[in-house]
A and B are shown apart, each in its own frame.
Chain A
Amino acid sequence: MATYSTNEFRAGLKIMIDADPCAIIENEFVKPGKGQAFSRVKIRNLNTGRVIERTYKSGESVEAADIIEMEVQYLYTDGEFWHFMVEDTYEQYQADKKAVSEAMKWLKDQDICTMTLWNDSPLSIVPPNFVELAITETDPGLKGDTSGGGGKPATLETGAVVRVPLFVQIGEIIKVDTRSSEYVSRVKH
């Protein structure tokens, strides 16, 4: 079992806390001049996303979380699982709904995503920062309106709904920032 000493704590390190994998966000060395030294860490629980604080005795060892991040290509979903492949090795992984979570609404086959594996099974999926998707449904805009002011909802081929300028029409492909769910531009192919 790999462990880390509190002296190795730094932002980004993955450790096990209460049987959940967690990522350290911040580590502070706390020591009263005449007293016990502590490590006070702020951590994100990678299972629940919750951020908490936790204190360790300085020098204590904590179990490392077996967390790997890798780039994978999205293949397809069978409704229950979402399937991904490592391009170099053709190794495939299936992620459940909980792991795919919010990424679900952006996934289009062949997109390259970042997958977090815990003990070799998918824990979370992060979609590409930008995706290009076709509009399947939106109100017809007013002719000649190119201002982009106002905007309207548009449903994309993956089911995601984003606000787009009035002039954007059904069938067009748009570029969306998945971190903010915001329309970026139209894509001309």
Chain B
Amino acid sequence: MTDVLWQPSCELKQLRQRGQMLALIRQFFADKNVLEVETPLLCHSTGTEPQLDFFSSIYDCPPNKKILFLQTSPEFAMKRLLAAGSGSIYQICKAFRNNEQGRFHNPEFTLLEWYRLEFSLDQLMDEVALLIKILLIPIFPLIRINKISYASVFFQKTALNALEYNSKAYKDYALKHDIPEAIHLCSEDHDLWLDFIFSHKIQPSLINDQIYLIYGYPASQASLARINSNDAKVADRFEVFINGIELGNGFFELADSIEQRQRFEAEIEVRKLNNRPLVEKDCRFLAALNAGLPDCCGVAIGLDRLLMLLTSSVTIDEILAFPIDRA
């Protein structure tokens, strides 16, 4: 009996599109003297983010055995290179996130991640827009750029203040806009409200062939970004969206090892509360920060989703050779 799943789920022309896209990206960075690097997919430690599930594996080397993690992002390793003096670098690699599968998700996916020394967040946003423009020219020749702050876009679409939680206003909004279940689901968790409303009501409206660069995420969602030096309510973090699809995430990178350690510890506490598998702080990454991370901005772009846009695909399976169910 032959297994019908031996064949790729995408058409062969999508493989060629991917190949061309990767060649253009490498050309883009070669022209700017940004070095391509490789870091391990199998790592001794992994991120502590409460919302991410990782894959782990056993390194079997008798008489020793040890757990290694498939990276959820190359961020820590790349910052170790930056701290070691690499200068601006980029990487095209696989990242792995357990339990993520859907129209826009495959547990194994391709990331383009790059770091620019001495760049402001604004400069990095411009570079992201430029690269995306170059890649998407065949399908969106007239694509426009729309830079707007998180709080502004949130207010425009919902009339809610994203930076200050108002229980009654948020609940009234949920009742009026057909998401009454949010009241129970989000309870009094401001960040959960923000995730719910942003992904259900705002993200789907970021359309009309524009590159949306949304900056100034709430400080509670800073992740690995610095808190803004003028406004402690927001983080120096941005995200990129096109036609309702989340494409990437960028930071003015946090370089303070003490603050980073505290954020890790806070996230580990949240993981404990939510009964998520426990992880340990990446000490090598913290040591690198301690040695000194140069001022830099970095961003990760999901290349599979970019390819979906480029090929007008409805599901990620249409552009992957072997998505998880065929892997």
Contact = CB atoms under 8 A, between A and B. Distances in A.
- Does B bind A? yes
B195 interface: yes
A37 B51 contact: yes
Given A28-B103, A37-B100, A54 B181 contact: yes
Nearest to B237: A34
B246 A33 contact: yes
Interface string A44-73: 000000000111111100000000000000
B49 interface: yes
B interface secondary structure, majority: mixed
Nearest to B221: A34
B3 to A, nearest CB: 22
Interface residues of A, number: 20
A144 interface: no
A31 interface: yes
Interface string B159-187: 00000000000000000001101100100
B28 interface: no
Given A36-B51, A54-B181, A55-B182, A29 B103 contact: yes
Contacts of B102: 28-31
B33 interface: no
A35 B51 CA distance: 6
Contacts of A36: 51, 191-192, 195-196
B57 interface: no
Nearest to A39: B102
Contact of B195 (A28, A35, A56): A35
B119 interface: no
Interface in B179-222: 179, 181-182, 185, 191-192, 194-196, 198-200, 203, 221
B101 interface: yes
B156 interface: no
A110 interface: no
Contacts of A56: 181, 185
Contacts of B182: 55
8 contacts: A28-B102, A30-B102, A30-B200, A33-B249, A34-B49, A35-B199, A36-B195, A38-B199
Interface of B: 49, 51, 99-105, 178-179, 181-182, 185, 191-192, 194-196, 198-200, 203, 221, 223, 239, 246, 249, 302
Given A53-B178, A56-B181, 4 more contacts: A34-B223, A35-B191, A38-B196, A56-B185
